[in-house]
Every structure is written in C-alpha cells, then in structure tokens.
C-alpha cells in the first residue's frame, strides 16, 4: 500500500473531473435506485425517531407535495411503518442542501462528469426564507414548489439541453474570482448560471411571461447555482471514491443529527459524530438558541476543495463569524495544512492564485487535531420555520479518529 500514491490519484481524479449540467428530469426517472416510496435525505442514514426538526419538516413537506400525507402526524406514520423509506442522497449519486429531502416526483439537475463518465444529481433551489429544504412546509411553500416543478422545471430542462450543457467547473473557477466561495456565497455563480441559460430559457417557452418569471427567479436567488455546484462536487468526489489505500476524506455530510464522513480507501462506510451548532449571524429576531444542529449535504463543497476552504476568495462573507478579510485568508491557510493537494483549476486571487486546499487528508486532520472548516446556512430547530442565519461550523474530531483506526485495521498499519 502506498498512501501517497493513492492520495495523489484520488485528488487528481477529483480535480480532473469535469461535471457538466446536461439536463433535468424527475428523480424517479433519472436517479439510480429511486422508487415511489423512497425519500432521499441529506447526510448519513437517519430514522424518523432521531431526525431533527427541519428534517422532519422537510419529510412532511415532501410527502404533502407527493400527495401522500396531509400533516406531520401522517408523515411520521408513513415513515415509521416503513411504508416510506429514507435513504441518504449520497447512496444514489445525489446531494441536497440542508434537509436535502428529494422525493420521486421532484425534478433534479442531471450532471455528467465528462472526464470519468459518472453521473450526479441534485434538486432545485427554492431561494431564501421559508423553504422546504429548511423544513418549512406551509401552503405557500408547497405552492412555490408546485410552480417550480410544473412551470419552471420543464422550461429549464429544455433550456439546458438547448445550451449544450453548463460546465460547472469552469463556471466555479470564474465565480471564485468574483468573490464566491461556492457554498455560503454563490452570488456571482448564480448570476453567471442565469446569464448562461437566459438566452435558451427565452427559446424554451413561447410564453414570454413565464420566461421572464423564470429568469427573474433564477437571477434573484443568490443560491440558484448552489444545487448544480453541489452535484458537480458530488461528481468530482465520486470520481475519487474507493481508491485503494487513500486516506482522503472525500465526503462530508450532515443530516441534522449526525455529521458523517467517508474515506476514499474505506469504501461505503460512514463514520459519524453528533452534529454541532453553527456559529454565525442570525436573521432579525433569531438567536443561536433557535438554531438546529448542523444539516445538509452542502459540505460536499468543502470535500471538493471550495466552500469554507476557499474562504480567502470570499472576504465579503467573513463577517459571518465576526471576522476580517485577514481571517478569511487565515481560514484558507489553515485548510492547506489538512489537505493533500492544491486545486489545479480553482484558484484564489488574494493568495497569488494559489490553488484551493483540496482533498482532506485524514492523517493530517488527526495528527494536527484540526477539523475542516465548514461554511453553512443555519436552519431553525423547529419544523416549518426555515433558515434563520448563516455561519461556520467544525465537525467533531472523534469520527476522524475512528476512521483512522478503521483505516489502520483495514490496511494492517
């Protein structure tokens, strides 16, 4: 076993992956292993009993949308009876922000890694405020969801096809030079994404009002590109999955209860620790007491070398943690210490175009006792409320230590 060689291969595959948004489809039709009674969710596996408030809310919302339940009580019965099954998005080449709940009749972006051929999927972004992914499921939430599914998705899907595909890696590289870090700040990327698709959206529908509404919706939402970015990152890290002898932590994900990681050289195993509470800034009227535990698959961005790891590229949002632009630089410098490589394509202007820290090395995390910095949105702890802030969180060290011991056992170190 040659760990160095394995890690070089894993990170190289991660960086050379070139995910392109190639289309849109109903989850049931395109996501591998998707079925009528399955709900995909963020993070490692979870049960109803252990699920957090926002996760329960999002499950309820999805079942209301699917017409299978009217309220949380019914949703709970369906899930606890086993009639509705829960599985991580990650088990289906998919990712979803926050609760990440994706049901069979929801639309998903379809991405293809043009380098290695693997596919990945992610749902559509609903914007800020009260949204399903944060566990809100009021009538207005379901209504907006209906518009997205019935009006926007068909047009968007067609526009993507007309465009010939959106190269997300290239777009991300550009957005990093425009103040995004790809996780908590996607302002520039969302505008680039909307700009790239707008000419085709206009062509994809005869209804100018619909086209206008879609373009406005995409352009107003500074998180529009988050879901395609996450799917792109998923395609990248999947290309680095299962490299014999690699200590690269290529997946980090949270379900609101557990923070889970996977290690390239340890196959499909999850190592988990209880989630922490993010430190950050809260919307008016909310405080840290309102916060749910850390949640979402969006840590796939850090896993792929952007997000919190590229903080130096996004000084505008460092104030989330009462920081300064220097703190943003320091955040990225710290992540270099636990990463195996520097990204070939994602570069940071203030660091003289140094590549972003890429490929979390389990060895270094445990040796230095430094866990990855994760940028994140903050969900309200109760179902139905939605996002209440944004900030920073660090996973617990214990699951990394557990993974290192498992690696040592697996490989006889």
Q: Which of residues 220-259 bind another protein (CB under 8 A)?
A: 247
Q: Is 322 in the site for another protein (CB under 8 A)?
A: yes
248 CA to centre of own chain:
18
Closer CB to another protein, 170 or 408, in the complex? 408
Q: Is 404 in the site for another protein (CB under 8 A)?
A: yes
How many residues sit in the footprint of another protein (CB under 8 A)?
46
Choices 146-154, 200-208, 258-266, 401-409; region in contact with another protein by CB under 8 A: 401-409
Choices 229-237, 265-273, 282-290, 340-348; region in contact with another protein by CB under 8 A: 282-290
Pairing label, strands 85-88, 38-41: parallel
Q: Which of residues 130-159 bind another protein (CB under 8 A)?
A: none
Figure out which of the listed residues 138, 370, 394, 410 binds another protein, where binding follows CB under 8 A: 370
Q: How far is the CB of 100 from another protein (least distance, A)?
A: 22
Separation between Cα atoms, residue 206 and residue 198, nearest integer Å: 14
Q: How far is the CB of 206 from another protein (least distance, A)?
A: 28
Closer CB to another protein, 226 or 390, in the complex? 390
Q: How far is the CB of 14 from another protein (least distance, A)?
A: 20
Tokens of 397: 């060290």
Pairing label, strands 166-167, 258-263: unpaired
Separation between Cα atoms, residue 204 and residue 83, nearest integer Å: 38
**Nearest residue to 48 (alpha-carbon basis) of 272, 256, 297:** 256
Figure out which of the listed residues 154, 316, 394, 396 binds another protein, where binding follows CB under 8 A: 316
Residue 107 has, within 13 A of its CA and on its CB side, a CA count of: 22
Figure out which of the listed residues 66, 327, 382, 410 binds another protein, where binding follows CB under 8 A: 327
Q: Is 4 in the site for another protein (CB under 8 A)?
A: yes
Figure out which of the listed residues 22, 28, 210, 397 binds another protein, where binding follows CB under 8 A: 397
Q: How far is the CB of 401 from another protein (least distance, A)?
A: 6
Tokens of 52: 């957090």
Q: How far is the CB of 209 from another protein (least distance, A)?
A: 18
Closer CB to another protein, 59 or 321, in the complex? 321
Residue 129 has, within 13 A of its CA and on its CB side, a CA count of: 9
Check: CB of residue 264 under 8 Å from CB of residue 57.
no
Separation between Cα atoms, residue 97 and residue 254, nearest integer Å: 10
Figure out which of the listed residues 88, 228, 293, 389 binds another protein, where binding follows CB under 8 A: 389
Q: How far is the CB of 156 from another protein (least distance, A)?
A: 21
Q: Is 330 in the site for another protein (CB under 8 A)?
A: yes
**Residue ranges in contact with another protein by CB under 8 A:** 1-4, 127-129, 247, 281-285, 316-320, 322-327, 329-330, 333-334, 336-337, 363-364, 366-370, 389-390, 397, 401, 404-405, 407-408, 413
């Amino acid at each position: 076993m040659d760990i160095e060689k394995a890690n070089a291969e894993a990170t190289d595959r991660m960086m050379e992956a070139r995910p392109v948004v190639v289309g849109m489809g109903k989850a049931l039709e395109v996501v591998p292993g998707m079925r009528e009674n399955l709900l995909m969710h963020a993070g490692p596996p979870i049960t109803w009993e252990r699920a957090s408030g926002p996760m329960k809310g999002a499950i309820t919302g999805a079942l209301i949308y699917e017409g299978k339940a009217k309220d949380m009580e019914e949703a709970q019965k369906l899930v606890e009876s086993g009639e509705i099954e829960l599985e991580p998005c990650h088990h289906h080449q998919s990712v979803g922000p926050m609760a990440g709940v994706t049901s069979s009749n929801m639309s998903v972006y379809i991405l293809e890694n043009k380098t290695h051929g693997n596919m990945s999927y992610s749902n559509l972004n609903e914007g800020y405020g009260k949204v399903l992914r944060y566990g809100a499921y009021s009538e207005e939430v379901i209504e907006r969801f209906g518009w997205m599914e019935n009006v926007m998705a068909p047009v968007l899907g067609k526009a993507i096809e007309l465009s010939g595909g959106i190269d997300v890696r290239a777009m991300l590289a550009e957005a990093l030079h425009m103040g995004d870090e790809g996780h908590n700040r996607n302002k520039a990327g969302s505008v680039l994404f909307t700009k790239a698709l707008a000419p085709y959206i206009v062509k994809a529908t005869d209804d100018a009002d619909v086209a206008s509404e879609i373009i406005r919706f995409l352009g107003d939402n500074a998180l529009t590109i988050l879901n395609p970015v996450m799917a792109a990152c998923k395609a990248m890290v999947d290309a680095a999955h299962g490299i014999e002898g690699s200590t690269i932590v290529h997946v980090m994900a949270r379900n609101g209860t557990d923070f889970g990681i996977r290690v390239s050289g340890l196959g499909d195993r999850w190592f988990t620790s209880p989630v922490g509470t993010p430190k950050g800034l809260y919307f008016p009227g909310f405080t840290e007491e309102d916060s749910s535990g850390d949640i979402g698959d969006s840590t796939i961005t850090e896993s792929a070398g952007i997000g919190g790891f590229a903080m130096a590229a996004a000084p505008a949002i460092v104030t989330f943690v009462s920081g300064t632009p220097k703190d943003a630089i320091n955040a990225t410098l710290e992540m270099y210490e636990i990463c195996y490589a520097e990204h070939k394509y994602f570069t940071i202007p203030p660091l003289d175009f140094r590549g972003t820290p890429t490929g979390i090395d389990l060895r270094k995390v445990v040796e230095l006792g430094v866990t990855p910095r994760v940028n994140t949105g903050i969900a309200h702890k109760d179902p139905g409320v939605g996002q209440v802030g944004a900030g920073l969180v660090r996973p617990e060290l214990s699951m990394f230590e557990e993974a290192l011991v498992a690696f040592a056992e697996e490989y006889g170190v």
